[in-house]
Structure 1
Amino acid sequence: MSRHDPHGDWRSGAGLARRAFLKSCGAAPLAGAGLGLLGCGLGFGPLVARSLLADEKEVLPKHVTPEALRAVTKGLDYLAAQQADDGSWNTGGGQAYPVAMTGLAGTALLAHGNSPTRGKYSRNLQGAVEFLVRCTTPTGLITGPSQDSGQPMHGHGFALMFLASVYGMITKESLRRQVAETIRKAVTLTSQGQSGAGGWTYIPGGGDEGSVTVTQVQALRAAQNAGFLVPKAVIDESMNYLEKCRTPEGGIQYSLSAGGGPRLAISAAAVATLYNAGQFESPIATDCLKYVWGQFRANEGWNKGGGHAFYSHLYAAQGFYMAGDEYWDQYFPATRDQLIAMQGGDGSWNGDGIGQVYGTSIAVVILQLPYKYLPVFQR
């Protein structure tokens, strides 16, 4: 399979390929910065809001089994039951990261083919959107009173990615305008919060660290997919940052200043991010994929080394899926079966000691990747 960016050079903001796609579908840009994609197909499933489990007799994507579908349903039902009255989710594991967890859980529901107005979990999505809009600050940072335990940028990134992914499905005009303004301000905050080295850390402008950096880049990609302007220079500098963090092994170290060897979790996240930036054939993407693949092949269990197993799988799954069938056919069946075996009786997964909302959101995102419902996760 040819590995390319189906949306063209998203960093330029020109979006020529996307406009050609829209023209071929007979769709026109909606009011504001978003793009109207209803009815165009090609994997934009949430926009038609078809439920994955409407009929188990449907033709399933490759490697998706009825058992996997049932696991997804139980997981999503668990998430829906855990949502607070204000539309948020917390970790369920001690520390509170409501913005990050709401962005992750909302993304998991979107990956099922729901929208804020249609589908089994439409009310949950509507509540999540409204909560995150209320969390927008005058600076553009999406955060709550506790600032996600004083580390708001992870939550900001997950929230921005979710809001950008759901934006084109919002039909209530007043809310649509609010979300558009939230996304614009959030993109500006992320752009201005980039460090001089080209990365991001837990607070805006506070330095740089690999995991926060990849979260911001993926959020910016989702915003660009939704038709919002993302400065090319910001993405170029972030790619340069990852290049500077590359180790001789081919992976990515924790941060530019920290040095040291490669971190598997951050290296896996870097693969997905590099592909999001269209760098499928770049030397850094090739080397990083080789390193991550080698680590995953060397360890048969769920934990592939270095801790943060759910986080590692979240991004490695995206990277392997976008890399092509050579990787996906070997990775997904075993991972699918591991996740099914690890699921709790209440439908949840406890992820990395952070909590059940976190683990469950990641597990169902991975299990739903073959449905291609979210453009940011597509090949």
Structure 2
Amino acid sequence: MLPRLLLSTALACFLVAPASAQDLRRRPDDPIPPQLDTLYERGLAYLAKNQTDAGAWSDSMGGEPGVVGLCVIAFLAHGEDPNHGPHAKVIQKGIDYILSQQRESNGYIGSSMYNHGFATLALAEAYGAVDDPKIAPALKKAVDLILNAQSRNASGAWRYTPESRDADTTVSGCQLVALLGARNAGLAVPDEAIRKGLAYMARCRGGDGGYGYTSASGGKPTLTAIGVTCLALAKEKEGKGFKNSLGYLRDHMNYRDRHYPFYFEYYMSQALFHADEAAWNEWNDKNLRYLSTIQRADGSWPGPKGEAFNTSASLLSLALNYRFLPIYEK
């Protein structure tokens, strides 16, 4: 029906191979649950139908470039052809919107480092796949802003604005994942920047493996999932801290974040996928059942953060089943 993208982490390049929606390139030992395609495609249909002419979404957070970035990644993570497929215009409009929100002066996207981080990740995942020469320079400027913000930060990490002198694990985790995504795409990201960011995250990890918000106290599963995701993507999975944090997540497999439920889904799926195959399989089954029971008839997911964020984050928590993006490969 439409091309699917296979992305190689080793070469950080993109190869397009035609396949039907029912004929995805899957490993025999990694079958995709039969209900997943229906669930995912309904979510994409909702996003495609409700995108504005400008390329954003009109709900409470749908105009944030970071949310638009997550929506774009949700399409790419399903293997949609961004140049000629049925959702190509949706993807391109989303990228155009992100680019329109980038400041020419310094490369800053949006009005917060949350937005900047997720938008940068979207550009990194689109780089090389989307036929748009504007992406490469925009991605380079976005990465440079993250690195410059870190260089001015006393903690070697990030918080709400590029000028912030303090840091927290949510914003810092977002920037680390964006940098790792850009490095996968072939951009030069200094190892020292990753090391310093991970060192800050480690200072916020308690003895039980749980990550706190700005210190090692008050550990929470959502924050711990962010920390584990960063370590796993950075290929830092051998230390005692990583093992303790993974054990913490295993002990919270039934946790639901009351305030940021889909943010938790998004990171928990990635953390377990990269860290523990058995735990991810258990989580994936539960997550699929849970999300299938609360998906609306129109394909969206409800919640206080707006349908665009809720739907894209839900889809991305399921996208590990497809493994089309470098960030979703082991």
TM-score relative to the length of structure 2:
0.90
Matching residue within 139, 156, 178 for 1:198: 156
Identity %: 29
- 1:113-172 Cα offsets, whole Å, 9 max, x none, are 0132132211111111112122221211112xxx2xxxx11111111111111111123x
Q: What code does the residue aligned with 2:280 have?
A: W
* Structure-1 residue corresponding to 2:318: 367
Matched, 1:64 2:21: no
Once the two structures are TM-superposed, the CA of residue 74 in structure 1 deviates from its matched residue by 0.7
Matching residue within 206, 214, 220 for 2:179: 220
* Structure-1 residue corresponding to 2:244: 287
Q: Structure 2 matches for 1:66-145, cutoff 5 A?
A: 66-90=34-58, 92=59, 94-95=60-61, 97-137=63-103, 138-143=105-110
**Structure 1 residues 59, 190: CA separation in 2 closer, same or farther (over 3 Å shift)?**
closer
How far apart are the structure 1 equivalents of 2:247 and 2:101?
39
Matched, 1:242 2:211: no
* Structure-2 residue corresponding to 1:181: 137
Q: What code does the residue aligned with 1:319 have?
A: A
How far apart are the structure 1 equivalents of 2:156 and 2:240?
19
- The RMSD of aligned alpha carbons is 2.2
Q: Is the CA contact 1:192–1:205 (under 8 Å) kept in the aligned structure 2?
A: no
**Other structure's SS at 2:127 match:** helix
* Structure-2 residue corresponding to 1:261: 218
How far apart are the structure 2 equivalents of 1:218 and 1:189?
15
* Structure-2 residue corresponding to 1:349: 301
Q: Is the CA contact 2:36–2:288 (under 8 Å) kept in the aligned structure 1?
A: yes
How far apart are the structure 1 equivalents of 2:47 and 2:80?
14
- Runs of 4+ in structure 1 off by over 4 angstroms are 58-61
**Structure 1 residues 114, 238: CA separation in 2 closer, same or farther (over 3 Å shift)?**
same
Matching residue within 8, 11, 17 for 1:48: 17
Q: What code does the residue aligned with 1:189 have?
A: L
- 1:280-302 Cα offsets, whole Å, 9 max, x none, are 11222111111112112xx3xxx
How far apart are the structure 1 equivalents of 2:141 and 2:269?
30
TM-score relative to the length of structure 1:
0.79
**Other structure's SS at 1:48 match:** strand
* Structure-1 residue corresponding to 2:115: 155
Q: Which structure exhibits the higher relative contact order, with contacts defined as CA atoms closer than 8 Å and separated by 6 or more residues? A: 1
* Structure-1 residue corresponding to 2:281: 329
**Structure 1 residues 357, 306: CA separation in 2 closer, same or farther (over 3 Å shift)?**
closer
Matching residue within 187, 200, 208 for 2:167: 208
- 1:214-242 Cα offsets, whole Å, 9 max, x none, are 11000111111111011221111111101
| Residue correspondences, number | 319
Higher share in strand: 2
Once the two structures are TM-superposed, the CA of residue 304 in structure 1 deviates from its matched residue by 2.7
Q: Is the CA contact 2:32–2:322 (under 8 Å) kept in the aligned structure 1?
A: no
Q: Is the CA contact 2:125–2:181 (under 8 Å) kept in the aligned structure 1?
A: yes
- 1:193-213 Cα offsets, whole Å, 9 max, x none, are 122212211111312111111
Once the two structures are TM-superposed, the CA of residue 49 in structure 1 deviates from its matched residue by 6.3
